[in-house]
Structure 1
Amino acid sequence: MPFHHTAGIRLFYRLDGHPDRPLLVLGNSLGTDVFMWEPQMEALTAHYRVLRIDTRGHGASDVKQGDARIEDLARDILDVVDALQASQFAFCGLSLGAMVGQWLGIHEPAHLSKLVLSNASAHLPPRESWSDRITLVRREGMANLTDAVMARFFSQDYRDRDEPFFHSMRTSFASMQAEGYAACCAAVRDADFRAHLPHIAVPTLVIAGALDTATPADAHGQPLREGIPDARWALLQAGHIANVEQPEAFNRAVLDFLRG
């Protein structure tokens, strides 16, 4: 299994696709692992070398005690990319991964060729609800959150399909390390990129879900679209984890943008 050691922790990653193809890095949602991107792999690896990394405290990556910052998660990605001796890459992040993408676009634009921000927000209040969630999960673990989070991850229509991939993601969420989830909740709680969006000069696509109740398109996607200069826009008939609910439409939107 491929691991990279950085900042006192071990990060699990997957690297797929021909080594001569340009690098595309995928950034996970909070509470998921690298396998959330399985519906994309066949389409994306036809054109890119695709790097997926389990966020610290998620999947097979180590937990680091204490609150994380978006900068920490972004630098984890940069460290893995640097170890692979890649100087530039395209980045596609969803939810938490899209916050990491915003940080990269603002602070490390020279590393990026293009940027995709899916089901994203520049700021996700209220702060108190994140602090309450952190306290709850550190005290009681993941079990009491699972049903509520699945309802925010996926639309009712998708949950009614009762597909095996949904149950796989549910199991992955319920079994993850509580401290890792709590640490990354703090990163979301403390992030606020609203004032910095005009400084993102990397070509950017914003993807939103019309059925997304976690980061609704009007309240979260549109401000990104309007705040980032010349950002392109795609609205999918999907909930928060849009790449899973509408994989073909998601893949088409991403590839049309990246290859355009």
Structure 2
Amino acid sequence: MHILDTGDARIHYRVDGPEDGPVVVFANSLGTDLRLWDPILPMLPAGLRIVRYDKRGHGLSSVPKGPYSMGALIRDCERLLDHLAVKNCVFVGLSIGGMIAQGLAVKRLDLVRAVVLSNTAAKIGNPAMWDDRISAVKEGGIESLADGVMERWFGKDFCAKPEMELWRNMLVQQSVEGYTGCCAAISGTDFYTPTSGLRLPCLGIAGSEDGSTPPDLIRETVDLIPGSKFELIRRAGHLPCVEHPKEYARILSEFLTGVGHI
């Protein structure tokens, strides 16, 4: 575990694998920390240098006063990758992490050679929806939303399993300031125009039961990038890397091979 001071935030990150391995960077979703990727890591090809981090306001990173901008979230990641001397990584972003992936690729194409846009979009929801969520969390805490979030995160099969409680606990233990700060960042983001200018390998991953970013929304986003690919994981919600780690790892591994990263 390491901490990087980016100026107005301290970012917790972790690096696994050989220093000279091809780099894959993972950015997680709203309300989760870097443990989101634990289920798939043992199933990925050996020899990768894997970089994970907690965005500001989440996990073990600091919680600056909100609201946050998407630009600040992208800048945190940019400074982390510069600190680690990362170039030409494959960037895997889920939900808000996928928005960070799009923004970083537009800003710093030297850092990113390919993107995996998982359960994300160029624009998610609308300002009124996010304002309502921010108000609800500030009034009743994250607990007040937790059951509804679980229904969007997971398919019906997983919601009946005991381990669902682990992810619910991860959600409710996040900082209210950090959670609502990142809600504001999503609310203010519309990447349709900048993402449509990207020219790099792109894979979109969707869950058939995703109540946050439905498959058609994800497909619409990745179709902005010529030559992109799209994969649908059935009986999965917003976090298919948790529900179906073997399938997710297979899809990701095939993409890494296909773009010549491994």
1:140, distance to aligned residue in structure 2 (A): 2.9
Which of 171, 174, 180 aligns to 1:173? It is 171
2:231 matches 1:234 = yes
CA contact (8 A) 1:92 1:115 kept: yes
| Structure richer in helix, relative to its length | 1
Could you tell me which residue of structure 1 aligns to residue 52 of structure 2? Answer: 52
2:63 matches 1:63 = yes
CA contact (8 A) 1:24 1:92 kept: yes
Could you tell me which residue of structure 2 aligns to residue 114 of structure 1? Answer: 114
1:234, distance to aligned residue in structure 2 (A): 0.7
What's the TM-score once normalised by structure 1's chain length? 0.95
Q: Distance in 2 between matches of 1:173 and 1:248?
A: 23
CA root-mean-square deviation: 1.3
The residue type equivalent to 1:69 in the other structure is S
What's the TM-score once normalised by structure 2's chain length? 0.94
| Alignment CA distance shift 1:45-1:255 (3 Å) | closer
Which ranges of structure 1 fall in alignment gaps of 5 or more residues? none
Q: Distance in 1 between matches of 2:16 and 2:221?
A: 30
Q: Distance in 2 between matches of 1:170 and 1:106?
A: 33
Give the alignment of 1:216-255 within 5 angstroms. Answer: 216-218=214-216, 220-237=217-234, 238-255=236-253
CA contact (8 A) 1:28 1:34 kept: yes
Could you tell me which residue of structure 2 aligns to residue 214 of structure 1? Answer: 212
Which of 169, 188, 196 aligns to 1:198? It is 196
Could you tell me which residue of structure 1 aligns to residue 158 of structure 2? Answer: 158
1:192, distance to aligned residue in structure 2 (A): 0.5
Q: Distance in 1 between matches of 2:175 and 2:62?
A: 9
- Give aligned pairs, total: 257
Q: Distance in 1 between matches of 2:238 and 2:120?
A: 9
Q: Distance in 2 between matches of 1:139 and 1:199?
A: 40
1:45, distance to aligned residue in structure 2 (A): 6.1
CA contact (8 A) 1:17 1:45 kept: no
Which ranges of structure 2 fall in alignment gaps of 5 or more residues? none
The residue type equivalent to 1:142 in the other structure is I
1:138, distance to aligned residue in structure 2 (A): 2.3
What is the percent sequence identity of the aligned residues? 36
